Chain A
Amino acid sequence: MTTAMLGAPPAAADEEPPPEPPKVELVLDVSGSMRARDIDGRSRISVAQQAFNEVVDALPDNTQLGIRVLGATYPGRDKKIGCQDTQQIVPVGPVDRNQAKAAVATLRPTGFTPVGLALRAAAQDLGTGATTRRIVLITDGEDTCAPPDPCEVARELAAQGTRLVVDTLGLAPDEKVRRQLLCIAAATGGTYTAAQSAEELTGRIKQLVDRARDTYTQTPAQVGGGEQCAGAPLLAPGVYTDRERFSEHRWYRVPVRPGQELRASVSIALDRPVNRDHGVLLRATAPDGRELVRGADAGSGRTDVLSAGLRWSAADPDDDPDERDDGDEDGRDDEPVDGESGTDAPVLVCLVISNSLSPQAGTGTNPGMPVELTIDVVDSAPGPGAPDLGRGWLLLALLTVAGLLTGLLAGLLTRWWVATWRN
């Protein structure tokens, strides 16, 4: 009815610009296999070089871009040396376009494919900070240097404090490469694309670099949930991240004053292979363990996150307590307030997140899966009372008929009264 009530979507609601520019690093595989001439009759490396040039030309002004290569310098056969072969050729920062293009132009396909090491180094290049970092990994071959397994590295990097997303681009239609890149992407909440033409590659890298600018957000606060309600961290409104292992319970507490409403939502990311059916449960309980409300979601099949949310409002102290005490026959104090009901002391509502996910055989369980918890506390909204006014055609008809009857009655009475009075 009123558009003034419209909620601003999250992106628009964020008034303050994030404290630092978006940072993205392109990681390019320059291993020997990039020589293969199988993309529109051109070699993979020349297609990648052309794509990089176009991306650098179209780079948004405020985006800080770095470029790292792997397998670019060591032509020998010694795996030990070849698997250390990764360099940053353009440091993360405001880009000097000519210098970046010159650096890319000199690349020649050479050595091994130490993807895991390159990812780790790229994460270091991007540094730590309060906003999302993005790595775009372009490769045509499987990692030839494991351990470290690049997928494990990705999961380990994602579990560190800074939010890091790895988007992957595969240049060869190879099953092993695809599996590995899908695993890296899933572990960090990134994407996988199979690029099979220069146009596709350029378009996709540009899109990912733009996305780094459009979607980087303030990293949620890290919090470690408790094992039980007592002593669990006390949360103010805002967004938090945590990690939860399979079948683990994580507890948090939120102070909610009488007359306020708690809003909580949780998302748990499926960053590793899990069995087909899955679920997440968010429960709010009183400090004594009584359940107040729950939110749950379940599903099966491929998905990125499972989310659930709940609302709960503390009883308003202005309300008549008798209205809320029904069913409390033993007469005990039913208030979840810490012993002193009727005051403005906040109720410490406990929130517990649990999951019914199960790992596929061979899936690691540590660190836990990323959890995103959003807490908000607003004024509670009392239910609408009986409407004092009416609406609808029936109301109009009723009022009209009532008016008509009253008029008729009044008229008849007047006539009778006049007749009687005259006699």
Chain B
Amino acid sequence: MGTPTVRRLAALLAATGLGLLPAGAALADPSPSPGAATVTKAGTSFLTATAIAPGQPVRVGASHGEYLYWTFPAAAGEVPDIGATVSYPAGRARTGAATWTIDVFDGLRRRQACTAGAQTPTVPAGTPTVQLGCTLRTVRAWAEPWSGDPLPGTYYIRLSVTGVAESDLGLPLEVELLVGTDGDGDGGDGSLAAPLVPPVKAGKVLTDAEANAAAPEEDDGYDLGDWLPAPSSRWIWTTVGGILAAVAGVVGFGLTRRR
């Protein structure tokens, strides 16, 4: 079975909500979703990062040396895949090599590893474009608080030049960026009480009394949902398995009958 067939089958199965086969490795560049509006902005810090959606292309003019921030949401089971292109305008030659870096952080601003892609390419002076890429790990539905696994919530992208001749700083350039998602939708069991979306409001320093105030009353009642497994494809699998077993039982019973 050729890889395209596997991927098509995987896509088909994922589309039917079963997610039976792991999708092929996400090597292809992400492609924009049809009809998505191009974003022409970038933030300059975590707090001011420009929100984009997967499949929404970004095209923004910037200065060499700027730190550009975007933020996108990711859900469990997705494998975010980021591709970026930096183009220098003709006629404004750089004097030295430049190292570009794409950093990805989760909602807690923890650095996320890239499993594939050119995360820190270095280009010599005179190269007109730089290609960058980063494919994250599969976003898990749940992870222990002490782990650094990618979790559902906000993700930050920071695109910057990390190694540069000082005389090249400030040159104009153009950045294109696109976030795609891959993955089979299976992020494992469990779930977070709240996705990793950081608060953006100003905080408030508490007094001792406020900090020790009585906890708000929670209703501790049990309901059916507590012991029933959460809705998932496991229900379908198990039900189908039961039906198959019943059919096979009948068939097996039939086999023993005198012909």
Chain A residues close to B by CB (< 8 Å): 1-3, 5-14, 130, 132, 165, 170, 175, 178-179, 181-182, 189-196, 200, 203-204, 207, 210-211, 214-221, 223, 233-240, 253, 255, 257, 261, 263-267, 293, 295, 297, 301-305, 307-313, 344-346, 348, 372-376, 378-384, 387-393, 395-396, 398-412, 414-415
Contacts and interface: CB of A to CB of B under 8 A. Distances in A.
Interface residues of B, number: 106
B65 interface: yes
Contact of B200 (A14, A132, A409, A410): A14
B43 A215 contact: yes
B51 A312 contact: no
A395 B238 contact: yes
B154 A10 contact: yes
11 contacts: A5-B191, A13-B197, A14-B200, A130-B202, A240-B203, A261-B145, A304-B45, A307-B111, A391-B238, A406-B245, A408-B253
A413 B203 CA distance: 73
B196 A194 contact: no
B211 A348 contact: yes
Given A192-B63, A372-B47, A309 B110 contact: yes
Contacts of A390: 234, 237-238, 241
B254 interface: yes
A178 B197 contact: no
Nearest to B70: A9
B72 interface: yes
A79 B238 CA distance: 86
A383 to B, nearest CB: 6
A374 B198 contact: yes
Interface stretch (B26-34, B123-131, B158-166): B158-166
A344 B214 contact: yes
B127 to A, nearest CB: 19
B85 interface: no
B21 to A, nearest CB: 9
A302 B240 contact: no
A7 to B, nearest CB: 4
Nearest to A344: B215
Contact of A414 (B205, B234, B256): B256
Nearest to A403: B245
B73 A210 contact: no
Contacts of A218: 200-202
Contacts of A379: 193-194
Nearest to B186: A1
Contact of A406 (B47, B67, B249): B249
List the 7 closest A-B pairs by CB distance, nearest first: A238-B203, A407-B252, A411-B256, A309-B108, A403-B245, A384-B190, A194-B170
B37 interface: no
Nearest to A297: B111
Contacts of A406: 245, 249, 252
A239 B201 contact: yes
A1 B245 contact: no
A122 B44 CA distance: 21
A400 B48 CA distance: 56
Contacts of B46: 10, 267, 305, 307, 372
A192 B169 contact: yes
Contacts of A181: 170
Contact of A308 (B109, B153, B237, B242): B109
